[in-house]
Amino acid sequence: MLEKDIQQVLFTQEQISGRVKEIAQEIQRDYQGGEIMLISVLRGSFVFMADLCRAIDLPCTVDFMAVSSYGKGTSSSGQVQITKDLSEDISGRDIIVVEDILDSGNTLSYLLKLLEHRRPASIRLCTLLDKPERRVKPVQVHYCGFSIPDAFVVGYGLDYAERYRNLPYIGILKPEVYGG
């Protein structure tokens, strides 16, 4: 039913789960002996977060925040608003921000700066997808699932107009769906 709106499958469920396990192992190696706090940026990263945290064998806490980057259709703007803040204090903790996709970098450059002001012991970024061609603001990425070309993708948490988040794979949306 949802498949009819997908032009091309970019990553299957199997490919995603294999890559998520590899990232989890990298994180495990880097933080051996420590404790991490994973911060999921809602809503897009909720599926990735759920799989990633279960693949990491380390003491770990999770927290969530929600942002909206004002912008219509398929691109964000520089104006970022926090619609839900964290429940926990992050000062002195080793945090990893978990994102679905890094596009212009507007959202994350704002968010990372804001979190740095709260004085965590360290802060790293883990994004499932990266569209490097689209970058407007520089953002340092520590863990990246896949680099992808400039196309609008949905599934595995990623939406168009709040739909398609429940697709178990990642695919390119047919441009006619969003009038592109």
Amino acid (1-letter code) at residue 18: G
153 binds, among ligand IMP, Mg ion, none (CB under 5 to 8 A by kind): ligand IMP
Among candidate residues 151, 62, 71, 150, the one with its CA nearest the CA of residue 110: 71
User: What's the per-residue H, E or C state across 5-69?
Assistant: HEEEEEECHHHHHHHHHHHHHHHHHHCCCCCEEEEEEECCCHHHHHHHHHHCCCCEEEEEEEEEE
Q: Which stretch binds ligand IMP (CB under 6 A): 53-61, 89-97, 113-121, 146-154?
A: 146-154
Residue 145 in contact with Mg ion, rule: CB under 5 A: no
Token pair, residue 125, equals: 């970024």
Residue 44 in contact with Mg ion, rule: CB under 5 A: yes
5 binds, among Mg ion, ligand IMP, none (CB under 5 to 8 A by kind): none
Residue 100: CB minimum distance to ligand IMP, A: 5
How far apart (Å, rounded) are the C-alpha atoms in residues 157 and 72?
A: 19
Which position among 5, 57, 89, 103 bears the catalytic label?
103
Q: State yes or no: is 150 an active-site residue.
A: no
Give the helix/strand (H/E) hosting 170.
strand 170-173
Residue with Cβ nearer ligand IMP (56 or 128)? 128
Q: Which stretch binds Mg ion (CB under 5 A): 29-37, 56-64, 99-107, 165-173?
A: 99-107
Residue with Cβ nearer Mg ion (108 or 123)? 108
Token pair, residue 32, equals: 């051996």
Residue 153 in contact with ligand IMP, rule: CB under 6 A: yes
Amino acid (1-letter code) at residue 81: Q
Amino acid (1-letter code) at residue 173: L
Residue 106 in contact with ligand IMP, rule: CB under 6 A: yes
Other CB atoms within 10 A of residue 82 CB: 13
Q: Among residue numbers 21 through 60, which ones bind ligand IMP (CB under 6 A)?
A: 44
- Contacting positions for Mg ion (CB under 5 A): 44, 100
User: Which residues have a catalytic role annotated?
Assistant: 103
- Contacting positions for ligand IMP (CB under 6 A): 44, 69, 76, 99-108, 152-154, 158-159
